Amino acid sequence: MILEIAIKEIYHNLTTLRFALMIILLPVLFGANALIYSLGDRGYTTQINAYNERVRQNRKHIREQANISLAELALRGPGDIPKRPSRLIFCAGGVNEVVSRSIKLRSDYNFSRSSGIEDEDYAWRHPLRLEYEIVSSGSNSTGRVKINWVFIGVLMSFFAILFTFDAIAGERARGTLSLILSNTVSRGQVLVGKYLGAFVTLMVPLVMGILLNLLIILLIGSIPFDSADWLRILGIVGLFALHISVFIFLGLFFSSRVSNAITSLVWLLLTWVCLAFVFPSLLGTFVSNLNPIPSVDEISMQRRAQLDQIEDEWQRGSPKKLKKSPSVERISVTRLWAEYFTAINRTDTQIADGHIDQQLQQVQLARDLTQISPIATFQYAMEGLANTSIVGYINFVKQARRYRQTFIDFVKAEDQSDSKSLHIYPVREGLSQKPVDPNAVPVFSEQISYRSVLSQVGLLVLFNLLFFIMAQVSFLMSEVK
C-alpha cells in the first residue's frame, strides 16, 4: 500500500507546473555551473594554473637562495606556502572566497642601522615569519550569486516545500484523505508513501542534473577526477538526499497541522526564509558584535608599539645596547643580535598568529551557531567534502606553522654540519655561508582531513529524525476532514 501511495504521489507531481519548472531549471543551473567552473576565471583550471605557478616560483626562490648560502636561505625563507585548490570547487566555494590561497613564510623588509653602532652601518633583514592575508571580511552571501551545488541545494529545499505543502492539506480539502484512511491503511503508511513520492520526484531530476554537470566537465576535460573525488561526489549526493529529506518532512509536518494548503505554504515559506537567510545573518552579526576583531590598522599600531618598546629596551638599556655589528670575530656581539632578532620575531609571530586565530575562531563560532539551520549544516558539510571549509583552512594554517618549525629545524641541522659556522640563529653572520642542496630543503605538503563532515552528517540525520517524528505525531493528532 505504501508503494501504491508513493506511485500515485509521483504521478500527481509529474503533472504539475512546479515539476515542469524544476525539470527546466535544474539542467540550466547544472550546465551553467559546469561551464563557469570549467572555463571561467573562478574555475579549477585558472586556480590550478595559478597554484602551479606559485609552486614553480617557490622552488625557484629556494634554489636561488640555497645556491647563495644557508644563511641567505634561512633569512629569506622558502617563500609562499600555497594551498592547493580543490577539484570540487564547483560544488562549494566555502572560505576560498574570503581568504588568501597562500601563506607567506619569508622576510620582505630590509633595515639599516647606523645610530648607536660605533664602527659601521649594518643592514639586516627582518626575521622570518608567517604572513596571513584575509581577502574579504564579508560573508559568502555577499556579492554576486555563485551558481554552485550549494546554491542548487538551497533551491532544492525550496522545491521540497513546494511539493509537500499540499500533500496532506490538499487531500483533506478535496475529501480524498478520508477515503484513503477508510481502507486498511494506517496514517503512518500514508505519511511514508507521501514522503517517498516527494523524495523520488525531487531526487531523480537532481541526479540527472548532477550527471549532466559531470558529463560536461569530463567532456571539457578541465578537471581530472581521481577515485577519491568520485567517492566524495557520491558522498555529496548522499548529503543532497539528507538535506531534501529534512524539508520533505518539514513540509509534511505543516501540511498535516493546518486546515488548508495556502496556510501551509505561507508557514513553510516563512520557515524556509528564516532557516536560509534570517538565522544565519542574525547569528553572524551577533557573533561579530559579541567579540569584535581588531582592524588591520589597530593590529599595525599594536605591532609598532611593541616593536618600539623592544627598540627602546635594546638601544637604551646599557647591558643590551647594540654598539657593534655582528661578525664571525665578535661571537658575543653576534649572540646579542640573535637575542634581539629573536625578541622581534617572537613579537611579530604572536601578533600575526593571534590576529588570524581570532578571525578564524570568530568565523568558526558563527558557523557552529548557524547549524541550528539544516540549510547551513548542509552547506558546511558540502564545503567539508569539497575541502573548502573553514575547518580545512584552519588545518592548513596549523600545517603551515608546523612547516615553519620544520624549516627552522632543517636550517639548524644543516648549520651544525659546517664547522666554520658560529651556529647562531637567526643572524646571517652566525650561520653557515656555504651553499646548501636545494633538493634537501623540506617541501610543504598539505594533508586533507574530512572528519569534520561527520558532525554535519550526524546533525542532518538528527534533523530528519526530529522532523519525521514531528510530522508523524502531527498527522496522528490531526483531523481527517
Domain ranges in the chain? 1-102+141-289+374-481
Look at residue 420 and give its three-state secondary structure: coil
Q: Examine the pLDDT at 14 and tell me if it is beyond 90.
A: yes
**Measured distance CA(396)–CA(344) in Å, rounded:** 25
Q: Rounded to whole angstroms, how far apart are CA atoms 198 and 159? A: 10
Q: How far apart are CA 277 and CA 269, in angstroms?
A: 12
Quickly state the pLDDT bin for 138 (edges 50, 70, 90): very low
Which of 113, 376, 382 is closest to 235 using CA atoms? 382
Kindly tell me if the per-residue pLDDT of 144 is higher than 60.
Answer: no
Each residue's pLDDT tens digit, 402-444: 999 999 999 999 999 999 999 999 898 999 999 999 999 999 9
Q: Would you state the pLDDT for residue 106?
A: 72
Greater confidence (222 vs 263) lies with: 263
Cα–Cα separations (whole angstroms), residue 18 to 22, 80, 161: 6, 50, 11
Phi, psi of 453 (to 5 degrees): -70, -30
The residues, any chain, with a CB within 8 Å of residue 58's CB and separated by 6 or more, are 78, 79, 80, 82
pTM of the model: 0.89
Residue 33, pLDDT score: 94
